[in-house]
Amino acid sequence: MGVYLSTPKTDKTSEDGENEKMRYGVSSMQGWRTSMEDAHAAILDLDNSTSFFGVYDGHGGQAVSKFCAKFLHQQVVKHEAYSAGDIGTAAQKSFLRMDEMMCGQRGWRELAILGNKMDQFSGMIEGLIWSPRSGNLKAVEDWSPEEGPHSNYDGPTCGSTACVAIIRNNQLVVANAGDSRCVLSRKGEAHNLSKDHKPDLEVEKERIYKAGGYIHFGRVNGSLNLARAIGDMELKRDKTLPPEKQILTANPDINSVELCEDDDFLVLACDGIWDCMSSQQLVDFVSEQLKTESKLSAVCEKVFDRCLAPVSGGEGCDNMTMILVQFKKPESGPSTSQQLDSSNDQEVPVQEVPKSD
Read off the pLDDT of residues 185-203 as tens digits, 9 standing for 90 and up.
Answer: 999 999 999 999 999 999 9
Number of H helices, E strands in the chain: 8, 20
- pLDDT confidence of 3, banded at 50, 70, 90? confident
Which of 70, 201, 204 shows the shortest CA–CA distance to 143?
70
CA 235 to chain CA centroid, Å, is 19
pLDDT reported for residue 258? 96
Read off the pLDDT of residues 344-353 as tens digits, 9 standing for 90 and up.
Answer: 344 444 443 3
Q: How far is Cα 257 from Cα 3, in angstroms, rounded to an integer? A: 39
45, pLDDT greater than 70 = yes
The strand pairing partners of 267, in sequence order, are 183, 324
Which of 246, 198, 268, 266 shows the shortest CA–CA distance to 56?
268
Contact 234/211 with Cβ under 8 angstroms? no
* Domains of the chain, start order: 4-60+155-329 (3.60.40.10)
> Element (H or E) spanning 89, and its range?
helix 87-101
Contact 182/176 with Cβ under 8 angstroms? yes
Read off the pLDDT of residues 204-217 as tens digits, 9 standing for 90 and up.
Answer: 999 999 999 999 99
CA 273 to chain CA centroid, Å, is 14
Q: How far is Cα 179 from Cα 160, in angstroms, rounded to an integer? A: 10
pLDDT reported for residue 295? 97
Contact 170/332 with Cβ under 8 angstroms? yes
Q: How far is Cα 54 from Cα 3, in angstroms, rounded to an integer? A: 25
Which of 174, 219, 175 shows the shortest CA–CA distance to 198?
219
The strand pairing partners of 40, in sequence order, are 55
Contact 213/220 with Cβ under 8 angstroms? yes
Which residues, other chains included, contact 124 with Cβ-Cβ below 8 Å and sequence gap of 6+? 118, 130
Q: How far is Cα 268 from Cα 164, in angstroms, rounded to an integer? A: 8
Read off the pLDDT of residues 136-176 as tens digits, 9 standing for 90 and up.
Answer: 434 445 677 777 778 889 999 999 999 999 999 999 999 99
Secondary structure class of 145 (helix, strand, coil): coil
SS3 breakdown of the chain: % helix, strand, coil, rounded to 5?
Answer: 25, 30, 45
